[in-house]
Amino acid sequence: MNHTYNPYDNVLKVVSEAANILGYTDSDIEALKYPERELKVAIPVRMDDGSTKVFEGYRIQHSTSRGPAKGGIRFHPDVNLDEVKALAAWMTFKCAVVNIPYGGGKGGVVCDPNKLSEDEIRAITRRFTAAIAPLIGPEQDIPAPDVGTNAAVMGWMMDTYSMLKGHCVHGVVTGKPIELGGALGRSEATGRGVMFTAKNVLKKLDIDPKNTTVAIQGMGNVGSITAKLLHREGMKVVAVSDVSGGIYKESGLNIPDILDYLSQNRKNLLTGYEEDGMTRISNAELLELDVKVLIPAALENQINDSNAERIHADIIVEAANGPIASEADDILAEKGILVVPDILANAGGVVVSYFEWVQNIQSVSWTEETVNEKLKNIMDPAFEAVWDISHKNKGTLRTGAYLIAVKRVVEAKKARAIWP
């Protein structure tokens, strides 16, 4: 990771630009520069070999002006305070741009889940949950899965919190197993939102999805679901990648076959996959392919000032959080590349997390069709609003998204005023 790059500064830069356009004073946005709460915890765990290891964990609540904090838990070796702060702030604005009643939070543990056993991951999860328990709960902060975590981890978090409370608390986390009050459609929600967004932008530009080439960096939950759904919509996915590298095929990859392979060989990643006519490429090469749509669905800071000049895609849909550094935004804009920002494009996950939380609180269950329909009914109008305001202001879609989001957060803060 580039240590001079600070993702939190990235967020503040975009927020300040939007605030200036909106005519807000420094005073109006001052509080948004500081997360409301930052908790750092030590997580002692007895490892499988009998030794004790202490992991570092964080939970940060950026803003609760519009509702309880909402945001994922990330298990990754590169987790650090500035990254978690940035992700928490992005969540604040992501919830605001799609207008759901949440603020932003985020958490993480510095660890490599690929090198840990299931018992060790469960032990880290339980101890971490106990350590952040005073800060979380259905009314104040609702975690969800993120990079390196999944439904199983959310189930253990829910169970740990419920044990501490002495009764079952479904609504403390979202992205849970269906048996524990998880929402149907949640696992596909972020990728489905990316698909809706990609279709919306192609429609605006009058491009036929059937003639559209796509490259996807990252084949985790979001990237793999995005690949599956775009392939189903008739788009030609010519390249995909994961941490082991990428594969490329000009006539289009067999996405169902790749997904089938990955589901059976999770630890092998794409390294062992073979298909006639495909070539192996690096993650860096994938980003620079000459395709219609590029979808970075891995980690932040993948496109920065070192490679932005070599990006050839016409459209970039940010499925990951912060995959484009702010200095690269200007370069891409000059090149005429249209960027659909993360806070809009990947908001499907938090929207369906919201649906899950609503169902938990009301003790009701919706069908998957209902969930997907309600998701579309939120994502499509949010896209239209961002498209319209950015064209009215002759700015980028990122600026447009932040104009809407910053206004909603600042107006909520103003309406509440400062206590006491």
Cα separations in angstroms, 262 against 26, 235, 296, 298, 379: 49, 21, 19, 16, 29
H or E element: which one contains 383? helix 368-392
H or E element: which one contains 404? helix 397-416
3-state secondary structure (DSSP) of residue 280? strand
**Which residues are bridge partners to 213 per DSSP?**
236
Tokens linked to 215:
């490259």
DSSP-based helix, strand, coil % in the chain, nearest 5: 50, 20, 30
Annotated catalytic residue, options 70, 85, 94, 106 = 106
94 is annotated as an active-site residue: no
* Cβ neighbours for 407, distance < 8 A, ≥ 6 positions apart: 22
Token pair 């970075």 is at which residue?
Answer: 296
**Which residues are bridge partners to 53 per DSSP?**
45
Return the DSSP state at 300.
S
Tell me how far apart the alpha carbons of residues 139 and 161 are, in angstroms, rounded to a whole number.
14
Residue type, 53: K
Q: Catalogue the active-site residues.
A: 106
